[in-house]
Amino acid sequence: MPRRIWDISQVLRPDLPVWPGDTAFAQVGTWQMEQGSPVNVSALTMSTHSGAHADAPLHYAADAPDIASVALEPYLGPCLVVDARNCGALVEPGHLPDLAGARRVLFRTYDRFPHEAWDAQHTAIAPATIRALADAGVILIGMDGPSLDPQDSKAMEAHLEVLAADMRVLEGLVLNDVPPGQYELIALPLAIERGDASPVRAILRELPDA
Ligand SMILES: Nc1ccccc1C(=O)C[C@H](N)C(=O)O
Ligand SMILES: [Zn+2]
Ligand SMILES: [Zn+2]
């Protein structure tokens, strides 16, 4: 019996909601078969933070590693999905379940992911929660919201806690159809030189039978 896969990625498309003022996703044909080319080739324009993506430490620290330099281990392996839909503005330490030794934790904050419109009021992760996860040995934090910090944050406190613990980040995941529990995460970033982030094709897969 094949292990079930949940695709937790957003579809990258021209009307993809992006951070206010950020680069819209665009795709332009450069060679087209309908114009006699033997192949179709296109060019993409997009924010590094489009859709489901992995932040590089470079995003929140000017001299920190780019996305091409980070080790890949955090982005694949056992993972805990947590239902954090009723936490209000911030996921606080008191909202954490027993992590059961999880090294990768994904937070679901939406009943239904807002595919059609940017959510400026998205739930964020309290800095104290990041610290509690780091103290528990977590190496990767993911969420369905577009940022660990509130949209109007200037201090970027959650990201700076991630930096202090050298944790890795996934944002913009789609967790609508994923029950809380244990999975295998696969969400590898592209090796983009000087990249402050990279889109990922993120999936969860049923764990193999014990
Ligand atoms: N596109 C941006 C432009 C400016 C500031 C933030 C963003 C974000 O998308 C938030 C980002 N994903 C983050 O890691 O917090
Ligand atoms: Zn980001
Ligand atoms: Zn971020």
pLDDT at 138: 98
Distance 108 CA to ligand 1 centre (A): 18
List Cβ neighbours of 161 (8 Å cut-off, separation of 6 or more): 127, 130, 131, 134
Angle between helices 157-165 and 127-135 (to 10 degrees): 20
Distance 191 CA to ligand 2 centre (A): 16
Provide DSSP, 50-91: -SSEEE-GGGT-TTS--TTTS-SGGGEEEEEEEE-TT-TTEE
Distance 171 CA to ligand 1 centre (A): 9
* Domain residue extents for the chain: 49-205
199's tokens: 């889109």
| Cα gap 200→173, rounded to integer Å | 9
Bridge partners of residue 79, in order along the sequence: 183
pLDDT at 178: 97
- Using CB atoms within 10 Å of the CB of residue 84, give its burial: 0 to 12 exposed, 13 to 18 middle, 19+ buried: buried
Mean pLDDT, rounded, for 136-154: 98
Q: Does domain 49-205 have CATH number 3.50.30.50?
A: yes
CA distances to 33, 40, 43, 68 from 30, in Å: 10, 8, 7, 26
Question: Is 73 part of any known ligand binding site?
Answer: no
Where do the H-state alpha helices sit in the chain? Answer: 127-135, 157-165
Residue 19 CA, closest ligand 1 atom number: 1
Chain segment 106-130, per-residue pLDDT in tens: 999 999 999 999 999 999 999 999 9
Chain segment 54-93, per-residue pLDDT in tens: 999 999 999 999 999 999 999 999 999 999 999 999 999 9
Residue 209 scores a pLDDT above 90:
no
Residue 72 has a CB neighbour count (10 Å cut-off) of: 10
| Cα gap 196→187, rounded to integer Å | 16
AA identity, residue 51: G
Residue 60 CA, closest ligand 1 atom number: 14
Residue 210 scores a pLDDT above 90:
no
Chain segment 173-206, per-residue pLDDT in tens: 999 999 999 999 999 999 999 999 999 999 999 9
Residue 66 has a CB neighbour count (10 Å cut-off) of: 18
What ligand is nearest to the CA atom of residue 159?
3
List Cβ neighbours of 131 (8 Å cut-off, separation of 6 or more): 161, 165
97's tokens: 């379940």
Chain segment 151-177, per-residue pLDDT in tens: 999 999 999 999 999 999 999 999 999
Residue 63 has a CB neighbour count (10 Å cut-off) of: 6
pLDDT at 172: 98
